[in-house]
Amino acid sequence: MKTLVALALGAAFVAVPAAPAQALPDGLALTPPMGFNNWNATGCAIDEKLIKDTADIFVSRGLKDAGYEYVNIDDCWAAPQRDASGRLTHHPERFPSGIKAIADYVHSKGLKLGIYTSAGTQTCAKTMPGGLDHEQIDAQTFADWGVDYLKYDNCNNENRPALERYTKMRDALKKTGRPIVFSICEWGQNKPWEWGADIGHLWRTTGDINDTWPKVVELLKKNAPLAPYAKPGAWNDPDMLEVGNGGMTDTEYKSHFSLWAMMAAPLLIGADLRKISPASLDILRNKEVIALDQDRLGVQARVLSQADGKWVFVKPLANGDKAVALFNENATATTIGTSAAALGLPRRPGYVARDLWQHKDFQTAGELSAVVPPHGTVVYRVSTAKWWQAEPLVSAGLQLTTSTPGIPANITPAGRPFEVTVTATNHAVVPVIDPRVRLTAPPGWQVEALNQPREWVLRTGESISGRWRVTPAATGTPELTGGVDFGGASVLQRAELIVPPEIPRGSLVLGDVRSAWESGGYGPVERDMSNGGWQPRDGKPLTINGRTYAKGMGAHAPTEIVYYVGGNCSAVTSIVGIDDDRDDARQTGTASFQIWADGTKVADSGVRTWRDDPISITGQIAGATYLRLVVTDGGDTNSYDRGDWAEPILTC
Ligand code: GLA
């Protein structure tokens, strides 16, 4: 079976090496590991209560039941020095009971414990010794404590070859005789997908994730092409989940979770479950999506098509079904589709497409299409089951036509009319009778029908569209609902809008003024502080080459901040530069700062590096409806690109 899978995939991709590494023969991680790791939520602020509470919540909130098993401790759990016998020992304040006691506790709940160290002299946070040249004693210590999973990081590795370092730990773990899942965390630097299967059960393919949408997309794009390398016991790891940490919308978290499951990625919850919202918890407990990840065929989804930010992923499943994900990378709703034939399903008069977020079966004659919200993902499990019992698959959704170039289409200032088109298409074998498209807006908003067609029957493949003019008011929850009603059923979509605040007149310090919309490249845009990277809101002042500023914004590239200025403002002036808040060992920050008036760039700092002194830039924005502050990554990666808008003044 395994060989067949490898061959079938080999035909579709040229990237498969001549002799692919075999998975370890220990029978571990035959499906991607599922569990928890504290790093994304807490960094080094960890203690044994968090680990025990997490184990309790796994049981009490149905996560164990959903398949989550490993409760993993990341960096900073150990004392800074080895003990007299050269062993690692627990941090006295964070884990006063010792790791063995925690392992016993976790095991008593029917769960497993994971731990962390680095294939270097120290771990990444430099708070504890690493495992380099201590492989056997550390592996034995972990085994003695009852550890079931080891994440082995890559920091402080003295430039010694990765293959050698990770092989040594593999052998040391094996020698203990305890089954321990071995997670290679080498960030994809030495193509671990080519050798990782021989060494461990999963390997990181990328740098660290963070709780922002651009990062999720970046990691997705790096991990997706590596599909041919994944198989039972050997998985690509695009890093842990951010679902529930608060930096993304529910739609984005659903995409993150769906795409990680499609890619047969490890599902390690990275949020503090004691604080998580019910909506995020529901995402993590979606058993139908988890079933894709855990499917025993163990094939990572491949990209079937990808153009203009519209992605189609397909994942074959053990029972012959195909999972398909329609992912919309764009900031506006868009129709994405494929067909049963393209997925490789046998010819039939009809199919069942089960929507794994709606938990509902639909019948289709073969087209699989949906209006996918911005940053959203629709996931279908497609089968040749009894399609005639399911209700028709009708795709419907609303399209806004408001756009100023570069401005998200869902920003809709009060009093400014825009048009909405609602379209519905029947994909089912049976016709849809008396379809009526409709649109609803919040109370107090003006809605005028421009075109409301009447059709009696929509046959397979036919569409119907209506058009409305909407004028938003500053009141009500800014949200439109549009779609189609037919024969007692409805297919509706909501579009969340942003009605931006009015900008007051005068000389204003941006940062104190509410933006219409913003996105940070690494953590949120911070006010009167530098961007903290993986430690958001760490309180460090905006500082450019030693000069500090009390007011402004810390914004990690790539980032943008949009203000609705409504033609009322004339100019923006700001001091800009790369912040000093960076690791001395990695002085790599470079970025350009740009000011945009609607679709026109009116000021550009050029590339600034971490060495450069602050400079002042000014953009004339008279007449512009929107002001946009943009920081790009300066042409290299966005590593340490912590941009500062210091003392930014807007004149209105
Ligand atoms: C590295 C890893 C992260 C995390 C930290 C801990 O950055 O890639 O996942 O373990 O170290 O310091």
Domain covering 34-296 in this structure, CATH number: 3.20.20.70
Q: What is the tens place of the pLDDT at every residue in 193-232?
A: 999 999 999 999 999 998 988 889 999 999 999 999 999 9
Annotation: CATH topology of 305-496? Immunoglobulin-like (2.60.40)
Distance 247 CA to ligand 1 centre (A): 19
Residue located nearest, by CA, to atom 3 of ligand 1: 208
Architecture of domain 507-651 in this structure: Sandwich (2.60)
Predicted local confidence at residue 12, as pLDDT: 39
Question: Do the beta carbons of residue 216 and residue 223 sit within 8 Å?
Answer: no
* Distance, CA of 469 to CA of 478 (rounded, Å): 15
Which burial class, exposed, middle or buried, applies to 60 when counting CB atoms under 10 A from its CB (0-12, 13-18, 19+)?
A: exposed
Please name the residue whose Cα sits nearest to atom 8 of ligand 1. Answer: 208
Could you identify the atom of ligand 1 that is nearest to the CA of residue 240?
Answer: 9
Instruction: Identify the residue whose C-alpha is closest to ligand 1 atom 11.
Output: 124
Give yes or no for residue 16 having a pLDDT over 80.
no
316 - beta bridge partners?
322
Separation of alpha carbons 519 and 530, rounded Å: 15
> Distance from the CA of 74 to the center of ligand 1, in angstroms?
8
Q: Which of 445, 439, 452 is nearest to 476 (CA)?
A: 445
Question: Is residue 476 predicted with pLDDT exceeding 80?
Answer: yes
- Verify whether ligand 1 is closer than 6 Å to residue 125 (CB atom): yes
Q: Is 44 in the pocket of ligand 1 (CB under 6 A)?
A: no
Residue found by looking up tokens 């953009």 in the block? 619
- Show me where the domains of the chain are located: 34-296, 305-496, 507-651
pLDDT 10s digits, 85-128: 999 999 999 999 999 999 999 999 999 999 999 999 999 999 99
d(CA 162, CA 189): 9
Average pLDDT over residues 286-315: 98
User: Ligand 1, residues 36, 37, 38, 39: which to mutate, most atoms within 8 A of Cβ?
Assistant: 39
Distances (CA, A) of 561 to 274, 309, 508, 516, 628: 32, 22, 15, 8, 6
Q: 29 CA distance to ligand 1 centroid (A)? A: 21
- Structure tokens, 286: 């979606």
pLDDT of residue 584: 56
Q: Which two tokens stand for residue 442?
A: 């919040």
Measured CA to CA, the distance from residue 282 to residue 296 in angstroms comes to 23
- Cβ atoms 464, 394 nearer than 8 A: no
8 A C-beta contact, residue 437 and residue 424: yes
pLDDT of residue 539: 82
Interval between CA 640 and ligand 1 midpoint (Å): 16
Q: Does 39 sit in the ligand 1 pocket, CB within 6 Å?
A: yes
User: 211 C-alpha vs ligand 1 centroid, how far in Å?
Assistant: 14
The predicted model scores a pTM of 0.88
- Ligand 1 centroid from CA 123, angstroms: 8
Gap between the terminal Cα atoms of the chain: 68
Residue 586 has a pLDDT of 63
Count of C-beta atoms within a 10 Å radius of residue 224: 21
Give the pLDDT confidence score for residue 19 in this predicted structure: 65
How do residues 516-551 score in pLDDT, each as one tens digit?
A: 999 888 878 999 999 887 677 778 999 999 999 999
Pocket test for ligand 1, best of 128, 185, 222, 535 (most atoms within 8 A of CB): 185
pLDDT for residue 583 = 61
| Residue 138 backbone phi and psi in degrees, to 5 | -70, -45
% of the chain residues with pLDDT over 90: 85
For the Cβ of 237 lying below 6 angstroms from any atom of ligand 1, the answer is no
**Catalytic residue check, 208:** yes
Residue 18: which pLDDT band, with cuts at 50, 70 and 90? low
Q: E strands, 532-570, where?
A: 542-544, 547-549, 552-556, 559-564
C-beta 208 within 6 A of ligand 1: yes
What spacing in Å lies between the alpha carbon of 165 and ligand 1's midpoint? 17
3-state SS class at 104: helix
Given a cut of 60, is residue 396 above it in pLDDT? yes
Say if 305-496 and 507-651 have the same CATH topology: no
**CA dist 124 to 72, 76, 221, 486, Å?**
16, 9, 25, 58
Say yes or no: CB of residue 418 within 6 Å of ligand 1: no
pLDDT of residue 13: 40
Give the atom of ligand 1 at the shortest distance from the alpha carbon of 534: 7
From atom 9 of ligand 1, which residue's Cα is the shortest distance away? 208
For residue 1, is pLDDT > 80? no
In the prediction, which pLDDT does 634 show? Answer: 83
The residues with which 619 forms a beta bridge, in sequence order, are 572
Q: Which of 75, 91, 222 to mutate to test the pocket of ligand 1 (most atoms within 8 A of CB)?
A: 75
Centre of ligand 1 to C-alpha 157, Å, is 14
pLDDT confidence of residue 624:
96
The DSSP H or E segment spanning 296 is none
Which atom of ligand 1 is nearest the CA belonging to 151?
Answer: 10
pLDDT for 247 beyond 90: no
Residue 153 CB–ligand 1 contact under 6 Å: yes
Is the minimum distance from the CB of 185 to ligand 1 under 6 angstroms? yes
> How many angstroms is it from 186 CA to the middle of ligand 1?
10
Query: What's the half-sphere exposure (Cβ side, CA atoms, 13 Å) at 176?
Result: 23
Residue 590 phi/psi, 5° resolution?
-145, 140
Q: Kindly name the residue from 47, 56, 198, 208 that is annotated as catalytic.
A: 208
pLDDT at 271 over 60: yes
Measured in whole angstroms, the distance separating CA 388 from the mean position of its chain's CA atoms is 36
3-state helix, strand, coil in the chain (%, to 5): 20, 35, 45
Secondary element (H or E) of residue 196: helix 192-199
Residue 392 one-letter amino acid: P
Residue among 155, 183, 219, 222 to mutate when testing ligand 1 (max atoms within 8 A of CB): 155
**For a substitution probing ligand 1, which of 36, 208, 210, 215 has the most ligand atoms within 8 Å of its CB?**
208
Alpha-helical (H) ranges within 80-228 are 99-108, 135-145, 162-176, 192-199, 213-223
Query: Closest Cα to residue 369, out of 399, 400, 329, 339?
Result: 339
370-391 average pLDDT score: 96
- SS3 (DSSP) at 494: strand
- Contact 645 CB / ligand 1 (< 6 Å): no
Q: Is 353 in the pocket of ligand 1 (CB under 6 A)?
A: no
Distance (angstroms) between ligand 1 centre and the Cα of 208 equals: 7
Reply yes or no on whether the pLDDT at 9 is more than 70. no
Residue 394 has pLDDT above 90, yes or no: yes
Q: Which residues of 524-551 are buried (b: 16+ CB within 10 A; e: fewer)?
A: bbbebbbbbbeebeeebbbbbeeeebeb
Phi and psi (nearest 5°) for 141?
A: -60, -45
3 state SS of 403: coil
- Output the CA 287–ligand 1 centroid distance in Å: 28
Question: Which ligand 1 atom sits closest to the C-alpha of 187?
Answer: 8
Distance CA 571, CA 507 (A): 10
Candidates 148, 153, 579, 580; catalytic one: 153
